[in-house]
Each structure stands twice: as structure tokens, then as C-alpha cells.
Amino acid sequence: MEKEELFKRVKECPVCGSTERKLLYPSNINNFDSEDFKITDSHYGKHWQMYRCENCSFVYSDPIPSKKLLEKIYSSIEDPDYDIEEEGRKNNFIRILKRIKEIKNEGRLLDIGAATGIFMKLAKDEGFEVTGIEPSTWAAKRAGEKYGLKIENTTFEKFESEGGFDIITMLDLIEHVENPVEILQKANSLLKKSGLLVIVTPEIDSLLRKLTGSKWWHFRPPHLNFFNKKSIRYALNREGFEVMRIKPYHWKFSLYYLISRFTIGRKICDKIDIFKKALKFLKIKLFLFDSVEVYARKKDN
């Protein structure tokens, strides 16, 4: 790949198009590879050069890895550690699914960035007709082996569908993409009348981010863009959605998984098997209030 194809300049806010911006943090990434882009990557505080739009308050990186480079990275990712915390991830997804069913309790559901299909399997078991998109060849194959799911091994930009969807989910997805507005526009085009869009994403103006600054754990190489409540409402409204609900998102993980995010913690746990098993049994709820879950309905035209 030619050098000029590796990175792309972002001179205008991807959300509102304004060129008025303020430097939030300079980049501290000197080099990276596909390992840095895994879901379970723990290189916290490692980020691109980030700017805050003075008009809509959206935070975006400039420059960013090109679309071609991102596709190459994500298609090659293998992340066996993702399955280690299957039960914790199920607990997190069950809450989302419960709230979806309060709004729409049946229909066609498209999960973008489906990983190994944990959320898709839960939705299928609840009676939804599910379709998933996942660029990682390994993850798409794993979903078939483990759950018997057929996931489209591609990117959302390249995805095509003959019919519309009642629900589209983007769970920890939109912060990864080159242009979030294009993603929202395509989601709108694929949703049926009054269709539901569900987003989970980090919240750049959360108290925890302000306290931790550039060391915030959501600052990682895969994360290129960050919304706050104002900018996510602005973007969704502009792209044809009515925001129904925004609420804090919390996680539930095993104590082992949380400790193993740090190299020294994992080394200690893995040396003492009985300790490792005990920590996997202990579940911890994390109320960090630094991510949001957003429910938005497609506006009727």
C-alpha cells in the first residue's frame, strides 16, 4: 500500500462540516499494527491527534488511517480473548435487548460490527430475524462455528440488502468508523418507516474523561471519533432520526477479565489457576457513566 494511502486528512468536522476547531490532544501514537485494533486491546490512553469542533462539539481525529487501511486491519483481526468474557458480554447485551423489545418486540434486526455473534444469538433466541455484518474474517467464521450464524463478512459501507430492517444496532461501533455521518445516512436508508436505531458509544464529555484526561480508557487506536450528548443529538436529527432516549451505559464483567486488561494482572492470574477460576466467577458491575446508549426512531417523511 502506497504511503499516501495510509492516512487521510480530515480538515472539516465530519458531522457539521465546520472548519472551526480546537486541538484537544496531540497524537501520542508513533506506530501501530492490527493487534492494537482488537476489541480486547488494552493500550489505554493511546490516541490520534484530536480536535473538537467549535460548532457542534464533535471530537474527531486528524489525520486518520485511510478507509483502505482500516478495512485491511479489521479484516485480519483475530481476538480469541473476546470469547473469554462471553457471559459478561451476554449480560451487557441482554439489557440492550430488553429495552429494544420495549419499543419493538419483533422484526428484522441488523447488527453492525457483530463480532462473534453473541448479541445476534440472543436476539435470534428472542424471535428476531437477524442479520449481521462483521469485517473480521476470524470473527465471522467463529460466529458460524459457535452459534450456527451466517454473518456477512464485509464492512457496512459495502453491505447491500434487498429488504429493509425494523432495527439496526451499532454497539460500540460508530467511534471506529472513518465517517460517522455516512454510517447514519446508510442506516436511515436501510430502516423501514419508524425503524429503530440503537447506538452504544463512549461519551467524550463524561466526568470520568475529564478526570482522567488523555489517559481515559476509551482513548485507544481503534477509536477515531467521539460524541457527547449534544453532538449525537445533532447528528441523528440532521440525518433523519428522532432521539427517543439517551441513558448511561454500564458494563458487567468478571473480575478476572478486568484484572487481565493489565499485563501484570494477567500474568499473576494465569500462574495460579484456582485464583483465575475464582476471579472468573466473581462479576462486577461498572457504573462509569462514560458511555451512552442511544435509541432513535427514523423520522416519517
pLDDT tens-place string over residues 48-58: 999 999 999 99
**Residue 2 in this model has a pLDDT that exceeds 60:** no
Q: Are 174 and 225 in contact (CB under 8 A)?
A: yes
**Residue 3 in this model has a pLDDT that exceeds 60:** no
**Residue 70 in this model has a pLDDT that exceeds 90:** yes
Range in 8-12, 83-87, 288-292, 293-297 the model is least confident about: 83-87
At 86 the pLDDT is 82
> If you average pLDDT over residues 145-152, what whole number do you get?
95
At 100 the pLDDT is 98
When pLDDT is cut at 50, 70 and 90, the band that residue 264 belongs to is low
81 to 68, 256, 264: CA distances (angstroms): 26, 12, 16
CATH (one of 3.40.50.970, 3.30.465.10, 3.30.930.10, 3.40.50.150) for 3-298: 3.40.50.150
Residue partners of 134: CB distance under 8 A and separation at least 6? 113, 114, 115, 117, 140, 143, 151, 152, 153
At 251 the pLDDT is 79
When pLDDT is cut at 50, 70 and 90, the band that residue 256 belongs to is low
Taking the C-alpha atoms of 246, 199, 178 and 76 in order, what is their torsion angle to the nearest 10 degrees? 150
The pLDDT mean for the chain works out to 91
Q: From CA 134, how far away is CA 123, in angstroms rounded?
A: 16
What is the Cα gyration radius of the chain? 19
When pLDDT is cut at 50, 70 and 90, the band that residue 17 belongs to is very high
Task: Give ∠ CA 103-108-114 in degrees, rounded to 5.
Answer: 95
**Residue 65 in this model has a pLDDT that exceeds 70:** yes
**Residue 1 in this model has a pLDDT that exceeds 60:** no
Write the pLDDT tens digit of every residue in 229-247. Answer: 999 999 999 999 999 999 9
Range in 8-12, 88-92, 128-132 the model is least confident about: 88-92
> If you average pLDDT over residues 273-280, what whole number do you get?
62
Beta strands 225-226 and 108-112, pairing class: unpaired
Range in 43-47, 106-110, 154-158, 187-191 the model is least confident about: 43-47
What secondary structure does DSSP assign to 245-281, as a single string?
Answer: EEEE--EEEEHHHHHHTSHHHHHHHHH-HHHHHHHHH
Determine how many CB atoms are found less than 10 A away from the CB of residue 84.
16
> If you average pLDDT over residues 265-274, what whole number do you get?
61
- Whole-model pTM? 0.91
